[in-house]
């Protein structure tokens, strides 16, 4: 079995961790995602992980109710740390060595983000969870995912979603929606496809880092992706 991706940056949204719940972390989903990660770690893939916080708190939601945006975003970033610790716990329970590195230093609960140390962990086969986004308000964890992917020189950014790729319109509400196999960054930006935020796409484009959008709710999909089987939609230059 030949790996097409040796080092991946997996972006999981906070909402994905909610499952069918209305809020928070669904431990069944958490354990499922951890199991999917373990499968590829076993194959020798180095995994970096960025987790969002839509299941707990989003800065824009706070700001829409009158909160100061930067303060609300700081809360959103703290929420990603909670998700990251939960994921570390789930991974370590199934014996996947994991380190959490936070962009906002919190030395008593996790490591600070240090790029070279993160790469060293990856080389040793440890999964690294990059918490607290970029550490800056007004950004998203999508952008953080791309940023960390560039920094650790991942082969690909895998954006885990609930649908099996990028469609020309919402496949949930449109039976005639067409799935794209491949797209360019330009296509995504000009067609206004909602893959990830424009800042993240622009950053990936600058470094020509491919983004694979795929359904992570299907067991074995990440494994298929790293083994080069056709899953999801690839965005490239
Ligand atoms: N956030 C931020 N800077 C970052 C990353 C995240 O301020 O670099 C905040 C922002 O408020 C965002 C929240 O953290 O709404 C959660 O991240 P995101 O919305 O990307 O989560 P997801 O949609 O992936 O669940």
Q: What is the ipTM of this complex?
A: 0.99
pLDDT of residue 172: 86
pLDDT of residue 15: 93
pLDDT of residue 113: 98
CA dist 70 and 185 (Å) reads 29
Say if pTM beats, i.e. exceeds, 0.90. Answer: yes
161 or 155, higher pLDDT: 155
pLDDT of residue 133: 98
Q: Is 13's pLDDT higher than 90?
A: yes
Is 159 touching ligand 1 by the criterion CB < 6 Å?
Answer: no
Convert 157-191 to b/e letters by CB count within 10 Å (16 or more is b).
Answer: bbbbbebbbbbeeebeeeeeeeebeebebeebeee
Tokens of 62: 């706070």
171 or 14, higher pLDDT: 14
Out of 80, 131, 146, 161, mutate this one to test ligand 1's pocket (max ligand atoms within 8 Å of CB): namely 80
- From the options 3.10.20.90, 3.40.605.10, 3.40.50.300, 3.40.1160.10, give the CATH code of 7-236: 3.40.1160.10
pLDDT of residue 162: 87
Tokens of 150: 């560039």
Q: Is 170's pLDDT higher than 90?
A: no
Give residue 23's pLDDT band: very low, low, confident or very high (50, 70, 90): very high
Is 127 within any annotated ligand binding site? Answer: no
Per cent of the chain over pLDDT 90 is 94
Q: Which residues contact 75 (CB under 8 A, 6 or more apart)?
A: 57, 59, 62
pLDDT, average across residues 213-231: 96
pLDDT tens for 101-150 read 999 999 999 999 999 999 999 999 999 999 999 999 999 999 999 999 99
pLDDT tens for 49-103 read 999 999 999 999 999 999 999 999 999 999 999 999 999 999 999 999 999 999 9
Tokens of 121: 């962990």
pLDDT of residue 1: 78
Least confident of 139-148, 193-202, 205-214: 193-202
Is 134 touching ligand 1 by the criterion CB < 6 Å?
Answer: yes
Looking at every residue in the chain, the average pLDDT score rounds to: 96
Is 84 touching ligand 1 by the criterion CB < 6 Å?
Answer: no
Cβ contact 152:142 at 8 Å: no
Please state the domain extents for the chain.
7-236
Phi, then psi, of 103 in degrees rounded to 5? -70, -20
Question: Ligand 1 centre from 171 Cα, in Å?
Answer: 25
């Amino acid at each position: 079995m030949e790996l097409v991706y040796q080092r991946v940056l997996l972006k999981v949204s906070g909402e994905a961790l909610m499952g069918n719940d209305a809020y928070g972390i669904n431990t069944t989903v958490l354990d499922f995602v951890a199991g999917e990660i373990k499968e590829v770690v076993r194959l020798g893939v180095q995994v970096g992980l960025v987790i969002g916080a839509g299941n707990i708190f989003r800065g824009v939601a706070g700001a829409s109710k009158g909160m100061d945006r930067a303060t609300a975003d700081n809360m959103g970033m703290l929420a990603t740390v909670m998700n990251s610790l939960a994921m570390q716990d789930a991974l370590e329970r199934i014996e996947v060595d994991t380190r959490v590195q936070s962009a906002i230093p919190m030395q008593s609960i996790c490591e600070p983000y240090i790029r070279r140390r993160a790469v060293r962990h990856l080389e040793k086969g440890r999964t690294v969870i990059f918490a607290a986004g970029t550490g800056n308000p007004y950004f998203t964890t999508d952008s953080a995912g791309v940023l960390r992917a560039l920094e650790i020189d991942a082969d690909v950014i895998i954006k885990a979603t609930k649908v099996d790729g990028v469609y020309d319109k919402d496949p949930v509400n449109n039976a005639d929606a067409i799935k794209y196999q491949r797209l360019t960054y330009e296509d995504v930006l000009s067609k206004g496809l909602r893959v990830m935020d424009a800042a993240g796409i622009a950053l990936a484009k600058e470094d020509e880092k491919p983004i694979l959008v795929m359904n992570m709710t299907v067991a074995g999909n990440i494994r298929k992706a790293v083994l080069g089987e056709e899953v999801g939609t690839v965005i490239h230059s």
